[in-house]
Structure 1
Amino acid sequence: MIVYSFLILICIFLQIFCKKNRKIFFNLTIIMLFLVSAFRYNVGTDYEHYGNIFQWVLNGYDVYVESGFKILNIFVQRVLNMDVIAVYFISSLIIIISFAKSIKENVSSQYWFIGIFIFIGSGIYFASFNLIRQYIAIAIIVAGMPLLIKRRYIKYSILVLIASTFHTSVLIVEFFIVFLIVFRNKKNTKILWYIYIVSILCMIIDIRNIFNIFSMIIPDRWLWYLNSDFLLEKNTSAILKQIVPNITIIFLLRKRRCILKHNINADVYILGYFMFVIITNCFFGVLLLLRLSNYFDFYLIYCVPLIIEFWRYKENKRLTMWIFILYYLLLTIVTIFIMNGHGVMPYRTIWS
C-alpha cells in the first residue's frame, strides 16, 4: 500500500509544483508508474499463470496461447535469452508508453494530471498488473486512437485484428467501429437515450442466462467459465461503482451538442465512454462479463477534461476536478487498499 500511496501523492505533488513545466511532471510520473509495474514480483492474481505460460511455450506443450503473446514469449526465450521477468518488463513498457502517448495526444497539457490520476484511480493501472494479455491488446487499440479520430476505420479495424492475437475478446471493438460510424457527430441523440434506458433495465434482469443458451457455439477453451465463480457469482454491491459513470454519461449526452462545438473529436470520446457505461450497466457485478468494458473505460481519461472545460468559471472547473479526484481516490482506497482488487497487494519487487 505504501508504494501505491506514494505514487498517488507524488502525482499530486508534481501537479502542484510543476505547473510551469508540465512535461517534467508528466515524464517523471510516467517513469515511476513504469518502474513500479515493470519490476513487480508475484503481484496480481494471474502473475504465476503467466509464468506457467512461459514454461509451456518453452517446453513446447500443446496448450492454447494467443499467437501474439506466444511470439512475445518466444522472442524473450530465444532472442533475448531471458526468463519470464522480461515478459512482465516488456508488457509494462508497451502498456505504459501507449497510455502516456495517448494522454499527451488527446488531453490538453493542463489536464495531464487528472488524466494520469484517472488512469490510476479508475483501476486501469492496477488491472494491467493482472490481465496482461488483455491490456497489451488494449494498449494497441489505445495507440491507434489517431486512426479512429481521423476516420481511418479500415486501418483501425486491422489494428484491432492485430490486437486480437493477444486477446480475442478485443474483437468487440469491431462492433464499436460500426457504432461510431453510425452515431458519430449526429445531432439526434434519441436512439442513444433509448439504448441507455435498456441498459438500465438490464441491471434488473440476470443476463447471465443468455450464455447457457449459446453454450453450443462457445469455444471449448472458454466453456469452463460457465461454471466458474467469475460468471456464477454476482457482486450486487458493485452497483455503487455505477453511480458516477451513469451521472457522467447523462451529463455528456445532455451537453453533447455544446461540447462538440468546441471539440470536434469529443464524440469519439463520448461514444467510447457510452459503450463502457452500457456494458457495465448490463453486466454489473459479474466479473467475467465486465472484462469486456475494459476496452472502453479508458475513454473517461478524455471525457473528464471535456466536463471540466465545459464550465465557464474557474471555480466550477476546480470544483469539478476535485470531485473526480476525491471520488477516484476513495475508489482506490476501497477497491485496492481494502478489498485488494486484482491481487496487487502486498507489493514486492524482483529484488525483494
Structure 2
Amino acid sequence: MIYFCILIVILILAILELSTKQNMKRSFNGIFVILTLMGSLRYGVGTDFFNYMQIYSVVPKLNNPYFKRMVVHTEYGYNVIQGLFKMFNLNYLVFNFVITIITMYLFYIFIKKNSKLYMVSLLIFYSMYYFTYINNGIRQGLAIGLFLVVLLPKLQKKEYLKYVVFTLLFSLIHSSIVVVLILPLFYFHFNKINLLIITICAFIIAFVNIGFLLKPFGGIYTSYQYYLGTNINIFALMSRVITFAIVIILYKSVRSEIRIEDKNIIKYYIVGIIIYIIFSRSELLASRLNVYFKCFEMILIPNLIKLLQQKQKKIIISYAICIIMATMWIKEINGALEQAQYFNKSNVLNYSYVSIFNKNDIYLYRPMYYKLDDID
C-alpha cells in the first residue's frame, strides 16, 4: 500500500509542476530520501533479493585463498566488492544498504544536474527503474548509475580513452554496460532517410540469429543464446515506441531551443531504440542493453516539456506521460508479484514493504524455501 501512496503523491506533485511554475526541489529531495531509505532498509522486497543474499553468503573473503577459484554467477568486479565487505565481517544487509545508497545517490546526481522538472523525472524513475534496478537487479542498477554520472560526462567532453577504460572497468560489475562503447561511433546526425534505413536494417537483423557477432562479449553472448526466443514482446516494444514518439514530437516542437548536449542525448536515445529492435527476439537481453539509453527519458521528457510553449499540446503530452508512467508502475508491481510468487497476486496494493526491522513478516507475503537465519 505504501508504494501506491508514494505513486499518488509523486503523480500529484508532477501534475502541479507541469501546470504551474512551482519549484519542487524540496519535495523532490524529501521523497528521494524516503525512497532511498526504503530501498536500503528493505528485506525480501524484490524478486532476486534472496538470490543476491545467497550469492553473498558463498563468496569468500577477498583475502581468502579460495576467492580466486570460486565459481559464482556474477561478474568478477562485483565479487571483489562482496569479498571486500566480507573481509570486515559485514553481513548482506549492510552490503545491500551501502550499494543501494550509492546507486540511489548516482541517480539523484544525474536528475538533479540535468532535469528542469524534478518531479516529472522522479515519476519516470519511480515508475520504470526503482523496482527493477534498485529493489531487484542491483548490479545493473549500479552500472546504470555509473554510466550516467561517470561515463556520460566523459563522452560529452570527448574523453574517449577514459570513456573506454572506465566502461571496461565497470563491465566487471555488469557486463551489459559494454553496449555503451558504441556511442563514440555515432558522429553523424539522424535525419529521416538514414533513420528509416537503420530502423529497417534493425528489424531485418531482429529476425536473424546474430549470436556469432556477440562471441567476443562472453556474458552477453551467453545471455543472448540462453534467452533467445521466437516471439517479440509486443507490449514492451509498443511502450518504447509510444514514449519514443512522444520524445520525437516534443523534439520537433522545440528543436530550435534545445541545447547541443540534449541534442546529443536524443541521438544516443535513438541508438538505444535501434539496439532494442535488433535484440528484440531476446526480450531480457534487449531490455538490459536498451536501459542504458532508455533512462535518458528521465531528463529528455521533462526538459523538452519545459521548453514547449504550445499550451494545448503541453497539456495533452503531460497527461499522456502521467498515464503512461502510472501504467508502467502497475506493470512493474504486477511483474514483481508474479516473479516473487506472492501469495496474493490479484492486486498491486498487495505488494507490501518489509524492512530489516520486521523481516519475519516476509513469510506472510511470499514463499520461503530456507530459514532466514541460514543466509543472513
Alignment match, 2:374: none
Alignment match, 2:363: none
Q: Is the 8 A contact 1:273 1:297 kept in 2?
A: yes
Q: Does 1:210 align with 2:210?
A: yes
Percent sequence identity over matched residues? 24
Alignment match, 2:82: 73
The unaligned stretches of length 5 or more in structure 1 are none
Q: Is the 8 A contact 1:252 1:270 kept in 2?
A: no
Alignment match, 2:179: 172
C-alpha distance in 2 between matches for 1:69 and 1:37: 19
Letter in structure 2 aligned against 1:305: P
Alignment match, 1:312: 309
Q: 2:323 aligns with which of 302, 321, 326?
A: 326
Alignment match, 2:242: 244
Q: Does 1:24 align with 2:26?
A: yes
C-alpha distance in 2 between matches for 1:20 and 1:40: 32
Alignment match, 1:55: 57
Alignment match, 2:372: none
Q: Deviations over 1:98-142 (max 9, x none)?
A: 11111111111xx11111111122x21111122211121111111
Q: Does 1:126 align with 2:135?
A: no
Tell me the secondary structure at the aligned position of residue 45 of structure 2.
coil
C-alpha distance in 2 between matches for 1:311 and 1:215: 41
Tell me the secondary structure at the aligned position of residue 166 of structure 1.
coil
Q: Does 1:192 align with 2:192?
A: no
- Pick closer, same or farther for the CA change 1:260–1:158 going to 2, 3 Å: farther
Alignment match, 1:293: 290
C-alpha distance in 2 between matches for 1:250 and 1:199: 19
- Pick closer, same or farther for the CA change 1:226–1:316 going to 2, 3 Å: closer
Alignment match, 1:9: 8
Letter in structure 1 aligned against 2:174: H
Q: Is the 8 A contact 1:133 1:166 kept in 2?
A: yes
RMSD, aligned α-carbons:
3.1
- Pick closer, same or farther for the CA change 1:248–1:227 going to 2, 3 Å: same
Alignment match, 2:119: 113
Q: Is the 8 A contact 1:259 1:266 kept in 2?
A: no
Tell me the secondary structure at the aligned position of residue 60 of structure 2.
helix
How many residues in Structure 1 have an aligned counterpart in Structure 2? 335
Alignment match, 2:157: 150
Q: Is the 8 A contact 1:157 1:177 kept in 2?
A: no
1:20 shift after superposition: 4.6
Q: Is the 8 A contact 2:48 2:137 kept in 1?
A: yes
Q: Deviations over 1:24-49 (max 9, x none)?
A: 11111111111221122222232222
Q: Is the 8 A contact 1:99 1:139 kept in 2?
A: yes
Please give the TM-score of this superposition, normalised by the length of structure 2. 0.78
C-alpha distance in 1 between matches for 2:220 and 2:123: 34
The unaligned stretches of length 5 or more in structure 2 are 343-350, 359-376
Q: Deviations over 1:216-274 (max 9, x none)?
A: 7674x77764674x334745343432331342354367x29x62643121122202211
C-alpha distance in 1 between matches for 2:304 and 2:223: 38
Tell me the secondary structure at the aligned position of residue 12 of structure 1.
helix
- Pick closer, same or farther for the CA change 1:188–1:235 going to 2, 3 Å: closer
Alignment match, 1:272: 268
Tell me the secondary structure at the aligned position of residue 53 of structure 1.
helix
- Pick closer, same or farther for the CA change 1:339–1:94 going to 2, 3 Å: closer
- Pick closer, same or farther for the CA change 1:51–1:165 going to 2, 3 Å: same
